[in-house]
């Protein structure tokens, strides 16, 4: 009997080689598996849950968009109504219409109150002022000069200054005139108060002493150069709008009040002339302006 041949070194059968040819994970590589792998049940549930979450998120986004669009529409609608109402109101407000009685009165007061600034100095103190002399003869006083604007307290006596300051006096304007015969010198002072109510209150507190009032203004080289506080023969005032118009008069020759004996009567034309000049200037300042009938002029 022959000895058994050794199989060492002979090629192995194809089946044996296939069985031993395995990958590192232990699965064979020689043939494909005929068993189909199915997804696990847990993986399917996770997929369905993910899809439901995505659908819910999408639906929430749709709802949010609808809310946003609705709010945006409301805001646009409200804004349009506001703009429309504002436009209608502006048109109604700016449209020319007749002035009410209250508006007409306010227009007059404001126009009068700004004249002391709006007018030139020669408008407040005209170069010539008409007055009535003896036998009511019409005469003209001539302006000698206009003093610089000053504080109220510096243009009047101390007792008058306190009253003016307490009622909000803004400034004092003064000018000096001489009568037609150049015998009398008259200084007119315009105290500018805040408004007509302040002027009325101040007038109620002013003293009736004819020795105090506006301080005279003398201009060197003119007939008024000797006119000072001691030369004042009489003083007075009149109210007009927001203005208190003071007047004081004396003789051009420099006579003082103390120099005239009590029994001697002042010249009959001196004080009437001074008072008339002050009244004329007050009338110019407070003369009611012509009020336009409509808010935008003469056409409503």
Q: How far apart are CA 89 and CA 95, in angstroms?
A: 10
Identify the pLDDT of residue 194.
93
Neighbours of 145 (CB within 10 A): 16
The ranges of the chain with pLDDT < 70 are 1-42, 91-94, 297-298
With beta carbons less than 8 A apart as the criterion, state whether 46 and 56 touch: no
- Burial of 37 from C-beta contacts in 10 A (0-12 / 13-18 / 19+): exposed
The pairing of strands 128-132 and 138-146 is antiparallel
- The whole model's pTM is what? 0.68
Residue 188 parent element (H or E): strand 184-192
Residues 6+ apart with CB under 8 A from 194: 167, 168, 170, 242
- Residue 60 is predicted with a pLDDT of 81
The residues facing 187 across adjacent strands are 176, 248
| Residue 125: other Cβ atoms inside 10 A | 22
Rounded to whole angstroms, how far apart are CA atoms 65 and 14?
Answer: 69
Report pLDDT for 253: 95
Question: What are the extents of the domains in the chain?
Answer: 46-97, 106-286
At 184 the pLDDT is 97
- How far apart, in whole angstroms, are the C-alpha atoms of residue 123 and residue 46? 99
Q: What is the pLDDT of residue 3?
A: 46
CB of 245 closer than 8 Å to CB of 274: no
All residues at 6 or more sequence positions from 113 whose CB lies less than 8 Å from its CB, including other chains: 195, 241, 242
Alpha carbons within 13 A on the beta-carbon side of 268: 4
**DSSP H or E segment with residue 138:** strand 138-146
3-state helix/strand/coil string of 220-238: CCCCCCCCCHHHCCEEEEE
Instruction: Work out the burial of residue 172: count CB atoms within 10 Å of its CB; fewer than 13 is exposed, 13-18 middle, 19 or more buried.
Output: buried
Q: How far apart are CA 231 and CA 254, in angstroms?
A: 6
* pLDDT at residue 9 in the model: 47
Cβ proximity of 242 and 113 under 8 Å: yes
């Amino acid at each position: 009997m022959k000895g058994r041949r050794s199989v060492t070194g002979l090629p192995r059968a194809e089946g044996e080689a296939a069985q031993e040819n395995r990958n590192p994970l232990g699965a064979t590589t020689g043939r494909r598996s005929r068993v189909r792998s199915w997804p696990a049940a847990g993986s399917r549930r996770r997929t369905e849950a993910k899809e439901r979450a995505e659908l819910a998120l999408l639906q929430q986004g749709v709802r949010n968009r609808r809310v946003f669009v609705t709010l945006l529409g409301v805001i646009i609608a409200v804004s349009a109504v506001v703009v429309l109402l504002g436009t209608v109101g502006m048109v109604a407000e700016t449209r020319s219409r007749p002035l009410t009685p209250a508006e007409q009165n306010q227009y007059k007061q404001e126009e009068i109150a700004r004249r002391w600034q709006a007018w030139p100095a020669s408008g407040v103190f005209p170069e010539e002022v008409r007055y009535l002399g003896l036998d009511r003869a019409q005469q003209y006083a001539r302006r000698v000069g206009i003093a610089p604007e000053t504080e109220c307290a510096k243009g009047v006596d101390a007792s008058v200054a306190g009253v003016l300051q307490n009622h909000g006096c803004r400034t004092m304007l003064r000018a000096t005139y001489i009568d037609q015969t150049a015998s009398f010198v008259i200084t007119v002072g315009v105290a500018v108060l805040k408004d007509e109510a302040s002027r009325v209150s101040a007038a109620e507190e002013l003293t009736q002493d004819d020795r105090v009032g506006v301080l005279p203004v003398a201009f060197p080289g003119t007939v008024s150069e000797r006119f000072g506080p001691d030369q004042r023969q009489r003083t007075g005032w009149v109210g007009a709008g927001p203005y208190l118009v003071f007047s004081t008069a004396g003789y051009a020759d420099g006579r003082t009040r103390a120099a005239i004996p009590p029994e001697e009567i002042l010249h009959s034309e001196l004080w009437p002339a001074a008072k008339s000049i002050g009244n004329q200037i007050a009338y110019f300042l407070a003369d009611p302006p012509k009020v336009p009938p409509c808010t935008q002029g003469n056409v409503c």
